[in-house]
Structures are given as structure tokens and as C-alpha cells.
Structure 1
Amino acid sequence: MKKAIVVFEVEGGSDKTFNGHRKDTMPIVEAIREKGWDSEVVFYRPEWADAIFDYVSKNFGGYISRVNPGNIPGGEKGYFDLLMKLSDQAGLVGMSRPDEMMSYGAKDALVKLAQTDLVPEDTYAYYEVDEFHKTFPKSISYGERVLKQNRGSTGSGIWRVQLADKELAAKVEPGTELPLDTELKCTEAVDNHTEVKKLGEFMDFCDQYIIGDNGMLVDMRFMPRIVEGEIRILLVGPHPVFVVHKKPAAGGDNFSATLFSGAQYTYDKPEAWQDLVDMFADARPVIAEKLGGDNIPLIWTADFMLDDGDNGEDTYVLGEINCSCVGFTSELDMGIQQKVAEEAIKRVEAKA
């Protein structure tokens, strides 16, 4: 067993500090070293892929990926190929492997869970432009929708979409195919800015989210209680570490729960949201079945929104799972890096 874990990063990107690293990378490295293991950072470049494979396969027992897919030079395919080769050929423990990132973290995970109690059944994914243009003019007739691109982060490409004409919205028959010149009010989660676009124009704009590798759009019912806040569970392996209650900035059509958009964050222990934590734990076997396996990511989050149950009680709707590169830069004082080190070492030891 090689008692060493490599942490992958890429150069550049808005998530780096003055020393070239993500703020949460070196704390992980140092926490692993404190436990008597070796750890270091290796930067990925496409032209270095073969050299990185040779070096890492000879010297490490596992890897932790701290790379935002949107920052990968040359696109994600080369990087993902390297990670899979390290796992499948060299036998390293991948945290997380690309197939786990795609299974749990892709937006269409919501569609795969649409037949469960976690996600509304009227949740769809568009993988082809023609499919999107054919279906969305009917989908928007049922009421406000949220469109989510598969790429991006911090709310980029996530749009709240509603009919601009409230009188039309009140009288339109659900299932009606609305004309392409119907005006829409579109609010993007990245900063809560609103644009008025015609339906055809907006769909043409959204084509960019579908075209390309792993392109898709998820079409989901808008949950009005998002104004009360999004509830995020952060987990290290199977263990809930904390819960963040992210309340959007007040006013207008605001619905974004990102810090950049002005949302207010409150950090709680898991016990403060015990019913939600228990519900999510109970749902884990179903999630594993629907998403293709129970290879739990090392660091991951599940975001929920409040909804009204049939009897008036609060229920929770899953809005997103993240596991590609979950950051915890604001929570380093909670000791999460130590929990990450413990879980990573445990996984390498278990495979030895």
C-alpha cells in the first residue's frame, strides 16, 4: 500500500488564491500529512497527461480531484481519461472518479429520480436542440419553470422562466403550445438579473447549453418556497457534516441562493435539520439504484427546497447534487479538511 494521496488541480481560474491553489486544497494536503501520510498537489495540463500518469501511478495510492470542470484546459475529456486510467489501470482509489461525478453530479440525475419522492415527476431533460424546441413551448404553459444547464457553476445558466403577461399566464390552458413570439420573463440565478425575451429567441439562446460534450438542459417546475431558502447538506462520504440554509436576497423575482447574488447563509449542525438528514439517509438506497451504484463521492452536497405536502406539512424537493469540486472555503474552521483526510485514508486502506 502506498501511503500517499495526490491532490489534482489546474492552473488559473477564479477559484484560486495568490498562491495558485484553491483555498481549501492545501488544508486537505496538510491534514493528510498530519496523519503520517504523504500528500502533494499535481497540476494537470493536457500535454503532461502521460508524465502525470507515470509519476502518480508509481508514487500514490489514491487521488483527490479539486478541479472545477469549467476550468480544465483542453476540455474535460483528457482529464477524465487520465483519472479513469489511474483508477482502472494503476489501481488508485479515485475520489471522485469521473463516472461518479457524472452519475451523481450531472443535472439529469434529477430526471432519473423523477419517479421518486425526491423530485417532481414533471422534470425533464433535453439532450437534443430539436427536442427542446418541440417540447418547451408546451412545458411553459403549465406554469413557471426552471431551466438548468449541465455545465457552469454559481448559478450560471440556471434560469427562472415565466410568462411576462400575467393575464395570459392566468388563462392559458395547460398543455397549450405557446407561439414563439410569446414574451417571457427570464431571471438568471448567477446574479438575479432579469431579461424579457420572446419564447423563440430565448430557446435559440439556450441552444448553447445543449450543444457540445455532455450538453443538456433540465426543465423543472419552479418551487415558489425557494424564497424561504435552499437547504444544502454537505457530506464527507456518507457522513453529513453541516447544513447550510441559503436564503435568497429579498425582492423582485430573486431566487438565487448563491453568495455572489446576495443570498444570506446560515450554518447549522445536521441535528438542526434532523428530519431532512434522516429523509436523505433513507433515500440513499433509492438514489444509488437510480444513479447506477453506491460509490459515494468523497465530498458532495445535496440541495433541497421546501414544498407543501398533501397534509400541509413541510416536505423537501431535491434541486441538485454536486460532487465534481465542492468547495468549503468558508468552513475551514469547522475542521472539514480533517474529516476529508480521514475518509480518504480510510478508502485507500480499505482497498489495500
Structure 2
Amino acid sequence: MSAALPRVAVVWRGDRRTRDRATAQNNRYHRIFKELAAVGLAPEPAVFDEAFADEVLEQLLETAAALVWVNPLVDGKTREVLDPLLRKAAEAGVFVSAHPDVILKMGVKEVLYLTRQAGWGVDTRVYRTAAQFRDAAVPSLRGGGPRVFKRNRGNAGQGIWRVELLDGPPGNLIVRVLEARSGSRSETVLLNDFLARCDSYFEQGGCIIDQPYQPRLPDGMIRCYMSGGEVVGFGHQFIKALVMPPAGTGPEQPGPRVMHPASAGSFQALRTKMEDEWTPQMMSILDIGGSDLPIIWDADFLYGPRDASGNDTYVLCEINVSSVYAIPDEAPGAIARAVKTRVT
């Protein structure tokens, strides 16, 4: 009699109806289900919502691994209930990717500050209280050019602001702001009003990260997809989220994200940096072991200034860990192979 195949839960957010009707084929992760089965694992849907969290935990405790795709913030819901649940599963011996503690190390904007001395870093600052932010905002904005202020946890551009100081009397300064959220329009507001708008970002130990705006943003963003410490593909998109539209026009629409395999010639310099230098640097700084790296994660890069030889440089924009999707064609197979290695 053959041994049962290791069960692997694929976790995403949904309601009761979605959970009851979920199969390996009727969701966006169907290719991952297929590849997991192909390497000898038994994948199963594990749709999560706070309303039936105990039921999900009971299911996870019967599995060998849980692969989780749940954003930190969507429609007012957070991971406040999910993360303790995943920790309980991990403590019981379930392999969880990405583990909530790893997300708190590398999947938050603070990683930009902690790794600012690595090869992907720039002039990056952190503000841990609203008072500190208020004191530092004007000197930072007067330093030359727009700045980008980022709340520590979020997704889909929420809480990421391009801010440019305009003329105004002392104590009543005016700024032009644009949020990276899709469909946002630029606003001209009093600086004090904008700062007050950000007060909530400091709740529950939150912080704000401050970086210089990258002028080459219109050249696009490169998303470097990783499985553990290995590059498994790239995505190149001409994003417009923080590009100020011409006066009198609406928000500009982003271009499509074009996927490329890990072998794509135009990205080999970035691939080498990520695999041989930057990922090991990040692991050392954040104290993350190789077996703790997420099964799938990505690092978003903007083009920095060209070097003396005219070659591109790259500036880390953010790291995504909580819910990395869509992914390159090669990624589901890499995910499946990595999971099998971890659970066997």
C-alpha cells in the first residue's frame, strides 16, 4: 500500500461561497495546483476569511505545507487574524510560505531603510512617529526634487505618495501630492493637511519610509520574480502611478506588464546582482536563513541614473511577499519543485 501524498494547502481570501465551491481548476492559481500535482504532491484549496478562520486552521494542521496569497490590506480587511493562525500552523510543523515573521522582515517598506547600504539602496529615511515625520518633512522636501513617502504595510499603491513642495508662506506651505493607488489624481494641499492625512500610518507600530523620486520612472519598473534565492522570471511594466499627468488631464493608464523568462538577455546583469549579491546581502542584514526565504516573492526595481559607462543602475522600490501574482510562465514549476524540496 503506497503512502499518501503530502497535502499542500493553497490559501487565498474569499467568502463562504468561494470556499465551498473552490476546486483545483476554478481559480487563478490553477497552474500552481497542476505543477504541485505533477511533482507528487496533493494540493487543495484553503480559502480564508475571518468568519471561518478556525475551520481554515483545522484544515492547515492536517497538511504538510501552506502556500499563502493574501494581501495585507484589501477592502478594509487586514491579516490581523490570519497571521497568528499561520504561526500556529508553523509551530505544529506545517511549512508556511511566506511565514508572517518573514513577511515582517522583508515584505514591508521598512526593508528599504534597513538595506539602504546594499547595492540596491538610495538616500532612504524612516519616521516612526507622526511628530518625527512633521519635523523632518520640510527639510526633506527642500533637499531637491520630489520625495516619495511610503506607509510601512499596504498594497496596490495605498499609502505611497509622491510629494513636491510648492511656494507658500512659512507655516502654511503647499505641496502637490499624488498617491500611487490606481485612478488617483494629483492634489494641491496644505502641507499640514497632508501630514495629518498620514497620521494613521503610525498606528500599531507603523512607520513611514522616505525616498527620493526616481526621474527615470517613465522608463518602467522591472519586477524580479524569485523562488527562494533563484530568479524565476521578470516582468517589465511602464507604470504611471507616480507620474504627474499634464495639467487638466486625468490619471494616466499603465502599460501592460510584459513577462520575460529568467534567461532574458536584457536582464542578466540584474539577475546576477540579485542572485549573487543583493539577496545574500538582504538575508545577512535581516537575519533570514535560506530555508526561510519565501517560495515566491518579488523585488520591484526602478531605473536609477546611468553609470559612467552608460549602463543602467537599479533602485529597489519595494519587495512583495504576501501575495505575488501574476507570475511568469516558469514560476509555477519552480514553486512546485521548491515546495517538494521543503516538505520531503
Distance 1:37 1:316 in 2: 38
Distance 1:287 1:335, change over 3 A: closer
Instruction: Answer yes or no: is 1:291 the counterpart of 2:277.
Output: no
* Cα gap change, 1:268 to 1:54, in 2 (>3 Å): closer
* CA shift in 2, pair 1:288/1:321, >3 Å: same
Partner of 2:270: 276
CA apart distance, 1:23: 4.3
Deviations, residues 69-121 of structure 1 (Å, cap 9, x unaligned): 22498642321111111112x1111111001111111100000011222111x
Give the secondary-structure state (helix, strand or coil) at the position aligned to 1:84: helix
The structure with the greater share of residues assigned to helix is 1
Task: Determine the structure 2 residue equivalent to 1:300.
Answer: 297
Shift of residue 251, structure 1, vs aligned partner: 11
User: In 2 relative to 1, CA 45–243 (structure 1 residues): closer, same or farther, beyond 3 Å?
Assistant: closer
> Using the alignment, how far apart are the partners of 1:145 and 1:335 within structure 2?
36
Please give the residue correspondences for 1:96-115 in structure 2 after superposition, counting only pairs within 5 Å: 96-115=98-117
Q: 1-side partners of 2:305 and 2:338: how far apart?
A: 36
Shift of 1:249: 4.5
Out of 180, 185, 193, the residue aligned to residue 193 of structure 1 is: 185
Q: In 1, distance between residues paired with 2:10 and 2:243?
A: 42
Aligned to 1:172: none
User: Residue 148 of structure 1: CA displacement?
Assistant: 1.1
How far apart are 1:203 and its partner, in Å?
A: 0.5
Cα deviation code 1:29-56 (max 9, x no counterpart): 2332233321211233445444433332
1:56 counterpart = 2:57: no
Specify whether residues 249 and 107 from structure 1 end up closer, same or farther in structure 2 by C-alpha distance, changes over 3 A only: closer
TM-score normalised by structure 1 residue count: 0.83
Question: Structure 1 segments of 4 or more deviating over 6 A?
Answer: 19-22
Distance (whole Å) between structure 1 residues aligned to residue 117 and residue 38 of structure 2: 45
- Is contact 1:234–1:241 with CA below 8 Å preserved after alignment? yes
Distance change in 2, residues 1:98/1:252 (3 Å): closer
TM-score scaled to structure 2, two decimals?
Answer: 0.84
Contact persistence 1:248–1:254 (CA under 8 A)? no
Question: Is contact 1:72–1:79 with CA below 8 Å preserved after alignment?
Answer: no
C-alpha change, 1:4 and 1:260, in structure 2 (3 Å) is: farther
Unaligned runs of 5+ residues in structure 2 are none
SS of match in other structure, 1:69? coil
User: How far, CA to CA, are the matches of 1:242 and 1:180 in structure 2?
Assistant: 49
1:150–1:214: 8 Å Cα contact kept in structure 2? no
Q: Structure 1 residue 162: deviation in Å?
A: 0.8
The residue type paired with residue 8 of structure 2 is: I
Paired residue secondary structure (1:110): helix
2:201 aligned to which of 188, 209, 217 = 209
- One of 36, 39, 49 as aligned partner of 2:40: 36
CA contact (8 A) 2:261 2:330 kept: no
With over 3 angstroms needed to count, the CA separation of the structure-2 counterparts of 1:179 and 1:346, relative to structure 1, is farther
User: Does the CA contact (< 8 Å) of 2:162 and 2:177 recur in 1?
Assistant: yes
> What value does the CA root-mean-square deviation take over the aligned residues?
3.0
1:125-180 deviation line (CA, Å, top 9, x unaligned)? 22211111111121111131001122332222211111234xx8xxxxxxxxx934
SS, match of residue 241 in structure 1: strand
1:326 corresponds, among 318, 324, 327, to: 324
Q: Alpha-carbon deviation of 1:262?
A: 2.2
Partner deviation per Cα, 1:269-303 (whole Å, 9 max, x = no partner): 33331011111222222110112213211111111
Contact 2:151 2:206 in 1 (8 A): yes
1:160 aligns with 2:162: yes
The 2-side partners of 1:218 and 1:305 are apart by: 16
Q: Which residue of 2 aligns with 1:77?
A: 80
Distance of 1:250 and 1:52 partners within structure 2:
36
Structure 2 vs 1, CA of residues 251 and 28 (structure 1 numbering), >3 Å: closer, same or farther? closer
Letter in 2 for 1:326: V
In structure 2, what is the Cα distance between the partners aligned to 1:92 and 1:315?
40
